[in-house]
Chain A
Amino acid sequence: MKPFFLLLVLAQAALGITADEILKKADAIRNPDGDYVMKVDVESSFDDPRSFEVSIHGNSRTLVKTLAPERDKDRALLMVDENMWAYVPNLKRGVRVSLSQKLTGQAANGDISRTRWHGDYSAKIEKETDKDWTLFLEAKKKGLTYEKIRAVIEKKTFRPQSAEYLSLQGKPLKTAIFTDYKSIGGNTRPTAIEIKDAVRKDQSSTLRIKSMTVKPIPASTFNLERFQGR
């Protein structure tokens, strides 16, 4: 097998695969084509365990429903482009929230809602070894969770291995490690993402994707009026 992969790598180099293409292929590893629904458990060092049902439509429309803990069961988040609304059970309506609102622990909303980097970030190859590429991504639009990302992509498989999330000034905010590759949602994908705070090293969250179902989701599911008038 080794000579084959060596050949593949050499062929890619010869063809001169661009950073943008690498990013697109890495996205395809993390996300199915089209709409999908996934169940995600989040364990955090500084927060209670939580479960979410995440419905994703393209790269800009996401509905996150809280499944656990029981007390937060009616809470939901709707994200459309760079806009975000939270459904507050007490008020029985959706209220706009700032983009800095955290999902739980170290997991930002963007960690489960905008999992496709291509389109949101411009990419360049910062470093290349026999095994992987290190891509440096810079936000192309405002309102994204992270301004800059340094992502390591395995050459053999285009699997994302790790990511370093950076501030606008390039200061490390968090690191993420993509592990536990399993067959899910029609492909082999990472089902665990461990996110660590770059400063407070003892603070971490692990996202575990429990299921991923590829199915068409009506656009009206992500409409603000439907979200508010549930």
Chain B
Amino acid sequence: MHGFRYILLAALVCAPAFAFDVSGRASIDNYTYLNSGDALFGRAQTELQVRHAFALTPTSSLDLNLEGRAWLLYEYGPLVPGLPIGQQDGTEIAPRNAHVSFTRNDLRIRVGYQVLNWGETFGIPPTDIMNPRDYRNYDFLDSPRNKLSIPLASASYTFADGSVQGFVSPRRNAPRLPKSLGGVAIDDTNLRDGWFQSAEAGARFSYVLSSMNFDITYLFQANRFPVLDQRLAGTAPQLVQTLGNVHTVGLSASKGFEEVVIRADGRYTADHPVGTTLAAPTRTYMDSYSAVVGADWTPTFIDGFTIGAQAQLDRHPVPGVDTQFGANLLLRKSLFRDKLELEGQYFQGLRLSDHFLQTGITVRPAGTWTAKVFLQSFKPDGSSPLRFLGSYDRLGGEVAFSF
């Protein structure tokens, strides 16, 4: 990671001299828990991107993209209710999309840290699993900021209405969890694969057929859903985060009509490891799947308005939890020449009480300033695989400046 810092610094220093394209974003966000005492915390975050394209020949080019992120929590409070103050990461500097791409005609090879964003549906598309999620982050929805960048070599070949891609990562990549949950420490030392000790690989085929685009994905990778084994460290309970290798196939599709878009995402993972307990210490495996189908409508007679609805089914690798059903709703309206946007996303479990609501107002007054206020309410069901994140209502605000 230190090496990346030096590269970024060097690129920044060299930027004016070599006419690099430098852009970035600085933001401050604050969260207040409405139902958990005095919990208040904030984060200052900077993202920096340096880009330059070197034209090699008329048909080939080399593109450099160095993007990194640094953040610090400037007032400690629990990211997750129940997590003791101090038992969390307070600062971080990490690469995001830091890669070199070689493009020749229809072929592109890209090597470096990458964050790939896949899926058609809103919320958290089930097929968006190339990069592990960062569960330390406290925004759930599909912001790419909630994903961890991974080292990846990828090659893509495009043709008239589609593309074929291949991916290889020189190590296994694990989801990142807080340092402890509910006061129980998480041991993640098992996750530290060295470079080239193991690998992840995948392929993706994308095609547009009769105005419907679809993507078929196959991935051989470490499990993206966190697996925690219960252990005892002496007499103290401990959770050990574990990795297994899983095969996943995914399918995404969408089709647009005059005012309506139909979307679908589905994923099937075979033999996903299941966390062990003190009472049942033997590792078991189960198949896991998730699928979302929905549509959104952007009527022409209401300017800047979109309404969307989705049906969702999930089977997570959690013992004793059967297939779960849910419904999702999206409302979005822009006002005042797109300077103000209202958005609400609501996820409700059917026949279980999982519930997540996020409403927000985004103001983009002028230039590159953005201010956002949002309310989040999360109430996982007792059988929800996300119950470890606890239940909360919180108010958040963010001010960001892009340059």
- A-side residues, CB < 8 A to B, are 46-48, 69-72, 80-84, 90-93, 95-102, 143, 218-220, 223-226, 228-229
Q: Per-residue 0/1 for B173-204: is the Cβ within 8 Å of any A Cβ (1 yes, 0 no)?
A: 00000000000000000000000000000000
| B282 contacts the other chain (CB 8 A) | no
Interfacial residues of chain B within 204-228, with CB under 8 A of chain A in the complex: 206, 208, 211, 213
Are A91 and B144 closer than 8 Å at their CB atoms?
yes
Residues 159-172 of B, flagged 1 when their CB comes within 8 A of A and 0 if not, give 01111010000000
Q: A46-B337, A83-B208, A92-B144 are in contact. Are A98 and B117 (CB under 8 A)?
A: no
B259 interface neighbour in A47, A71, A82, A98, Cβ under 8 Å: A98
Are A71 and B368 in contact (CB-based, < 8 A)?
Answer: yes
- Residues of B close to A70: CB separation below 8 A: 367-368, 402
Please state if A226 and B254 are interface contacts (CB–CB under 8 Å). no
The distance from the CB of B302 to the nearest CB of chain A, in whole angstroms, is 11
- B143 beta carbon closer than 8 Å to chain A: yes
Shortest CB–CB separation between residue A113 and chain B, in angstroms?
Answer: 14
| Number of chain B residues close to chain A: CB under 8 A | 49
14 A-B pairs with CB atoms under 8 Å apart are A46-B337, A48-B337, A71-B368, A71-B369, A91-B144, A96-B255, A98-B256, A98-B259, A143-B258, A219-B106, A220-B103, A224-B162, A224-B206, A226-B163
A220 B258 Cβ-Cβ under 8 A:
no
* Closest CB in chain A relative to B340 CB, distance in Å: 12
Within 8 Å of chain A (Cβ to Cβ): is B389?
A: no
In the bound complex, residues from chain A placing their C-beta under 8 Å from that of B142 are: 91
Q: Which residues of B contact A (CB under 8 A)?
A: 59, 103, 105-106, 108, 115-120, 142-144, 156, 158, 160-163, 165, 206, 208, 211, 213, 254-261, 263, 296-300, 303, 337-338, 364, 366-370, 402
Q: Which residues of B contact A100 (CB under 8 A)?
A: 258-259, 298-300
- Contact (Cβ within 8 A) B298 A91: no
Chain B residues, Cβ within 8 Å of A218: 59, 105-106
Taking a contact as CB atoms under 8 Å apart, the answer to whether B298 and A228 are in contact is no
Question: When the two chains form their complex, are residues A99 and B257 in contact, meaning their CB atoms are under 8 A apart?
Answer: yes
Q: Find chain A residues with CB under 8 A from B160 CB.
A: 219
Shortest beta-carbon distance from A200 to chain B in Å: 11
Pairs of residues from A and B, 9 with the lowest C-beta to C-beta distance, nearest first: A93-B117, A225-B163, A223-B158, A96-B254, A220-B158, A92-B144, A100-B300, A98-B298, A100-B259
If the complex has contacts A71-B367, A229-B156, are A220 and B106 also in contact, measured as CB distance less than 8 A? yes
Residues of A within 8 A of B402 (CB): 70-71
Q: Judge whether A220 and B105 touch: CB under 8 Å.
A: yes
Q: CB-CB < 8 A to A90: which residues of B?
A: 143
B201 to chain A: closest CB distance in Å? 18
Instruction: Given contacts A91-B144, A98-B259, A226-B108, list 5 more A-B pairs with CB under 8 A.
Output: A71-B367, A83-B256, A97-B261, A223-B162, A228-B117
How far is it, in angstroms, between the C-alpha of A47 and the C-alpha of B299 when the chains are bound? Answer: 19
Chain B residues with CB under 8 A of A224: 162-163, 206, 208, 213
Chain B residues whose C-beta falls within 8 Å of the C-beta of A223 in the assembled complex: 158, 162-163
| Shortest Cβ distance from residue A215 to the other chain B in the assembled complex, whole angstroms | 11
Cβ-defined contact, B337 with A47, below 8 A:
yes
Which single residue of chain A is at the shortest CB-CB distance from B368?
Answer: A70
Q: Specify the main secondary structure of chain B where it touches its partner.
A: loop
Q: Is A71's CB under 8 angstroms from B370's CB? A: yes
Measured CA separation A219–B106 after assembly (Å): 8
CB-nearest residue of chain A to B364: A71
Given contacts A219-B106, A220-B105, A229-B156, contact A98 B261 (CB under 8 A): yes
Asked whether, in the complex, the Cβ of A84 is within 8 Å of the Cβ of B256, the reply is yes
Q: Out of A48, A93, A101, A219, name the residue touching B298 (CB < 8 Å).
A: A101
The answer for the CA separation of A143 and B158 in the assembled complex, in Å, is: 25
Q: Give A80 to B161 CA distance when docked, in angstroms.
A: 9
Which A residues lie within 8 Å of B261 (CB)? 96-98
- CB–CB B143/A91 < 8 A: yes
A73 to B79, CA, bound (A): 33
Using CB atoms, name the residue of chain A closest to B163.
A225
Assess whether B144 is in contact with A96, with CB atoms less than 8 Å apart.
Answer: no
**Cβ of B337: which chain A residues have Cβ within 8 Å of it?**
46-48
Name the residue on A nearest B263 (C-beta): A96
**B118 contact set on A, CB distance < 8 A:** 93
A151 to B105, CA, bound (A): 39
With a cutoff of 8 Å between Cβ atoms, the chain A residues found around residue B303 in the complex are: 102
Chain B residues, Cβ within 8 Å of A92: 115, 117, 144
The smallest beta-carbon distance between B188 and chain A, in angstroms, is 27
- By a CB distance below 8 angstroms, the chain B residues around A99 are 256-259
Given A71-B367, A71-B370, A92-B115, residue A225 in contact with residue B156 (CB < 8 A): yes
- CB-CB under 8 A for A98 and B260, given A47-B337, A91-B144, A93-B118: yes
Q: How far is the CA of A93 from the CA of B368 in the complex (A)?
A: 20
> In the complex, what residues of B have CB within 8 A of residue A71's CB?
364, 366-370, 402
User: Chain A residues with Cβ under 8 A from B116's Cβ?
Assistant: 229
Please determine whether A225 and B258 come into contact, CB atoms closer than 8 angstroms. no
Q: How far is the CA of A83 from the CA of B211 in the complex (A)?
A: 6
CB of B28, distance to nearest CB on chain A (Å): 17
Q: How far is the CB of A192 from chain B (nearest CB, A)?
A: 22
Nearest Cβ on chain B to A77's Cβ, whole angstroms: 12
How far apart are the CA atoms of A102 and B142 in the complex, in Å? 24
A134–B85 alpha-carbon span in the complex (Å): 75
Residue of B nearest to A83 (CB): B211
Residues of chain A with a CB closer than 8 A to B260's CB: 98
Decide if B211 touches A82 in the complex (CB within 8 Å): yes
CB distance from A35 to the nearest CB of B (A): 14
Within the assembled complex, what's the spacing in Å between the Cα atoms of A23 and B299?
32
Give the docked Cα–Cα distance between A70 and B370 (Å): 12
Per the bound structure, the CA–CA distance linking A228 and B127 in Å amounts to 15
A95-B208 in contact (CB<8A): no
CB distance from B284 to the nearest CB of A (A): 35
